[in-house]
Amino acid sequence: MQRNTAGWGSGLLGVIIFSASLPATRVAVGGFTPIFLTSARAVIAALLGAAMLRALRQTRPERSDLAALVIVAIGVVVGFPLLTALALQHITSAHSIVFIGLLPLATALFGVIRGGERPSPVFWLFSGIGGLTVAGFALLQSGGGSLTGDLLMVAAILLCGLGYAEGATLSRRLGGWQVISWALVLSLPVMAVIALASLPSSWSGIGLSAWIGLAYVSVFSMLVGFVFWYRGLALGGIAGVGQLQLLQPFFGLALAGLLLHEPVAPSMLAVTGLVVLCVAGAKRYA
């Protein structure tokens, strides 16, 4: 029971950290190209991860772990950041929340395929209701989108769900922060070359907000958040803890209200209450 509770607590911290990722990416692509942003955030996070691995004298992964680490890197180091950055050139960050509501389902699905988990039918019922609730609310609250942006987000969600499930399975042996750190180090040579090749032609026109966005997605979205998230998935179960992602859009709105003084509609509170019930039900039957 303590292991399960610790997993859900750690996963919740990861979700809170991830909540600002899409808005920060939206701000960052105002000053950087999606290619440079994706590669630069990976390089910065990889250098930090490598320093942690060296300072704490972590042993290298086994040869049999390399394939899984490549999948993690493709899913969460390259795929999701690049595809969402490209998508956010066509749609708003609010519209992208529609697809974040589908991420718990994708994570649970790959948890079954890659992690060998077998949630009960009641779990899938709560998961489906929660996903549809978040997607419906976000769709009503967001502006219009584009077919290109929507397709890019669908692809991003599928790759992210795969990367989450694969990383969580590997975390049971290597540890949460070690998995994301090794995945980042593995992708460093390629991402460093891409970053150098896509350097901005001029740095003078890049605003402070874009730099802050790059810093956030590099340190928190790409590394710190995964330390808690993979630990949570490994301890509490991929399918179950993955349902905490249903709360991510609402944490983002709450942060906007607290930090940016944006109004919080009563409908948000009502929907959040329903989603909390769905997460509690999913936890019960995961």
**pLDDT tens across 268-279, in order?**
667 667 776 776
Amino acid at 8: W
Round to whole Å and give the CA distance between 80 and 84: 6
Instruction: Compute the average pLDDT of residues 54-68.
Output: 91
The answer to whether residues 159 and 110 touch, using CB atoms and an 8 Å cutoff, is no
Check residue 85 and give its pLDDT.
87
The pLDDT of residue 98 is 65
At 220, list the tokens: 């928190």
pLDDT for 124: 76
Is residue 245 predicted with pLDDT exceeding 60? yes
Which of these ranges, 119-133, 165-179, 260-274, has the smallest mean pLDDT? Answer: 260-274
- Among 7-11, 19-23, 190-194, the range scoring the smallest mean pLDDT is 19-23
d(CA 78, CA 142): 26
pLDDT in the model for residue 5: 77
Residue 53 has pLDDT above 60, yes or no: yes
The tens digit of pLDDT for each residue in 165-201 reads 898 888 888 888 899 999 999 999 999 999 999 999 8
Phi and psi angles of residue 80, each rounded to the nearest 5 degrees, phi first: -65, -50
pLDDT value of residue 48: 96
Q: Distance between CA 282 and CA 72 in Å, rounded?
A: 25
Higher pLDDT, 245 or 198: 198
**Percent of the residues in the chain that have a pLDDT greater than 70, as a whole number:** 82
164, pLDDT greater than 90: no
CA 197 to chain centre: 26
How much is the pLDDT for 180?
92
pLDDT above 70 (res 251): yes
pTM higher than the cut 0.75? yes
Domain positions in the chain are 2-285
Q: How far apart are CA 244 and CA 229, in angstroms?
A: 10
What local confidence, expressed as pLDDT, does residue 84 receive? 87
What distance in Å separates the CA atoms of residue 189 and residue 239, rounded to the nearest whole number? Answer: 33
Residue 101: Cβ-neighbour burial (10 angstroms; 0-12, 13-18, 19+): buried
